[in-house]
Structure 1
Amino acid sequence: MSGLTFVDVCSGAGGLALGLEQAGFEPRLLLDDDEDAVATLRANRPHWNVLHNDLLDFDPTEHPVSHDVDLLSAGLPRVKSSATVGRADSGDEERLLKATVYLVHAIRPRAVLIENVPGLAHSDAYQQFRDFARAELAHLGYEFSWFVVNAVDFGVPQNRRQGVLVAVERQWASAFRPPAPTVEQPTTVGAVLGPTMASRGWPDAARWVAQADRPAPTLVGGSKNRGGADLGPTGAKRTWATMGVNGHTVGDVVPDADFVWNPELGRDNMVKITVEQAALLQGFPEAWEITGRKTARYRQVGHATPPPVGEALGRAVATALIRDPAVPAAG
């Protein structure tokens, strides 16, 4: 699967774009309005064409390289209040959803991929957006698939449900199928983080791995208006505590040989997950560099689409787009 091109908006730390690259797509243009995220993208893929720009201000006529691509992808900021979708006072998250749809008119990709909260795919609260997308795109010849994926089904050690819209031009649409799970058994936090936990000689690393025997809860990046980084809401913190992890903060370094791990004594005797480890829990390769200060780095990681999910979605889209439209799709 090669030779397919894409434009990625709200690219963040590059999880979706990296997954699409692994699926055989070549990026023509990526854009994000966050300086740290742009630096992350440029640090890891200097050859990518990365634009520091707000999607709401993006004018594709000034960037002709964005035209005539196979895929427009968007891992958009999470919609906070589904009840506000379509209202005049909606926040930027809702406006970005609509801006992505409007961008389709300008660049006319063969397929569109939008990833957001699970409710985007089926909740009544998002029906207005789904109707909006259909009204804007159906007359351009796109057919729609709305579905939910869970990152844990694609080898990511995290329960992370995502709502997905895939719209494909009619001549290829019948060949599109949502991606099937790529693993039979969930990957655990301990299995993925064990090597890093042992890297500074911590003697309890193996014992911790045995306790961290399940996938992580959803990592939440939070907003720029929040304070320091943590591992999510109260329920997520409780789940982390059962694995002997202090979910109220993000660590600077992994435990060393002197660290005493005794969760019964409270948070100070629990391990802390570092930003680099959080990136591993999102399915980023260990070599992927996240730039900025700690809270900004963790925010990028928490907001990212796990690359293995992006790869699975990309392969599903590619399978449809490389099919000869004259040949009926199987199934």
Structure 2
Amino acid sequence: MRTIEICAGAGGQALGLHNAGAKHVVLVEIDSDACATLKLNNKKHSLNWGNILEQDLKKFVENQAEEYYGKIDLVAGGVPCPPFSKAGLKLGPKDERDLFPTALELINKVRPKAIMLENVDGLLTSDFDEYRSKLQRKLNRLGYSAEWKRIQSSDFGVSQKRARAILIGFKSPYKQYFQWPSPTINKPKTIGELLFDLIASKGWKLADDWKKKANGIAPTIVGGSKKHGGPDLGPTRAKNEWQKLYVNGHRIANEDEIPGKDFKNYKLRNGTTRTGYDYMPMLTVRMVARIQGFPDFWEFTGAKTNSYRQIGNAFPPPVAESLGKAIQKAIKLGDTKLTKKLEAAE
């Protein structure tokens, strides 16, 4: 399954599709740190991905897309979320960051067998009914039958409440063979179970007790845009949810801030203590990446804020893998049908 991956970010979706058997021909990402992350992991783990382009998607579509006509099975990617999120004021097509039209132009020029685009589940609200319908009508005119679905990441083993809007479409005859994947796991690991080895790695005496108290899954990890926000675990509502899991979400910890043997509370940079957070550790970049579904071997480039943003904006690899396997199955069955049809005609 040959793919073009757009808005590839730190490679969450790309890694999941790779694990499903995809062969990435080209990956397009405008952020320099994210591109460095993709190139680092591609080389270090011998993934054999194709061209990793640090480039504006619009320029790629304008200048290079046509050379891939008829050579691609799947166009996939997670176009920017702010146009459809509360934080982004839900401006939709009025937001300059809306790249759905660019994705459609790419599909028109490449004509893959299948497409998969993901975004925040806010795109599935009534505010965007007409917008979604308009996208589907345009795809229909291009010869694709497409369907939206809300996917909850925790249904696929990710220890996080992360619902996404997924658009999957196919040319004929592939659509008839596609089935949305069923949940792979009913009960993902709690945060305590998932992160215990990392939290306890410096000998914290109360790590076992913390593991029992951190007995739920995480709220949505948010990366945010470069326009605002630092490396913390989200708005006040999310921080309150983290506090119930005995995690301090006010900032992302450095590795040297993993709880030591006698860890008790969190001190601010000026030396004062934030009340109400006794025995509540902060999370490191590696811990957040594990919550997002990245394997521990996956490395992130850039400063802590940039690394965290790459993780928070990623599509969980386990979810992408499940969807990718279902798409690949449909493509293989469709190809088999077309081959038999051609043989019968001869």
- TM-score, length of structure 1 as denominator length: 0.91
Deviation at 1:173, TM superposition (A): 0.5
Which residue of structure 2 aligns with residue 259 of structure 1?
A: 263
1:217 maps to 219
Q: CA deviation at 1:264?
A: 10
Of residues 253-262 and 140-149 in structure 1, the stretch that sits farther from structure 2 once superposed is: 253-262
Higher mean displacement: 293-302 or 170-179: 170-179
* Paired letter, 1:71: L
2:93 match: 86
Q: Alpha-carbon deviation of 1:129?
A: 2.4
- Displacement of 1:261 in angstroms is 5.2
Give aligned-pair identity as a percent: 39
Letter in 1 for 2:61: D
Mapped contact 2:4–2:76 kept (Cα < 8 A): yes
Moved more, 73-82 or 279-288: 73-82
Instruction: Write the deviation string for residues 69-99 of structure 1: whole angstroms up to 9, x where unpaired.
Output: 1100011221345653234xx221x2x1211
33-42 vs 226-235, which moves further: 226-235
Work out which of the two has the higher radius of gyration on C-alpha atoms and give 1 or 2.
2
Number of aligned residue pairs: give it. 320
SS at match of 1:239: helix
Confirm or deny: 8 A CA contact 2:247 2:283 kept in the other structure: yes
Equivalent residue letter for 2:41: N
* Pairs within 5 Å for 1:219-238: 219-238=221-240
Aligned position for 1:102:
105
- Answer whether contact 2:83 2:92 (CA < 8 A) is retained: no
Take 2:137 and 2:195, find their aligned partners in 1: how far apart are those partners? 46
Distance 1:180 1:198 in 2: 34
Say if 2:140 is the partner of 1:138: yes
Residue 305 of structure 2 is matched in structure 1 by 295
What is the alpha-carbon distance in structure 1 between the residues aligned to residue 125 and residue 63 of structure 2? 35
- Give the drift of 1:266: 2.3
CA distance in 2, matches of 1:22, 1:251: 30
Q: Distance in 2 between matches of 1:311 and 1:259?
A: 38
Q: Note the aligned Cα RMSD (angstroms).
A: 2.1
Per-residue deviation at 1:268? 6.3
Name the CA distance, whole Å, in 2 between partners of 1:237 and 1:22: 33
TM-score by length of 2: 0.87
1:270 corresponds to which residue? 280
Instruction: Name the CA distance, whole Å, in 1 between partners of 2:171 and 2:240.
Output: 45
Unaligned runs of 5+ in 2: 267-272, 338-346
Letter in 2 for 1:258: D
**In structure 1, distance between residues paired with 2:67 and 2:261:** 52
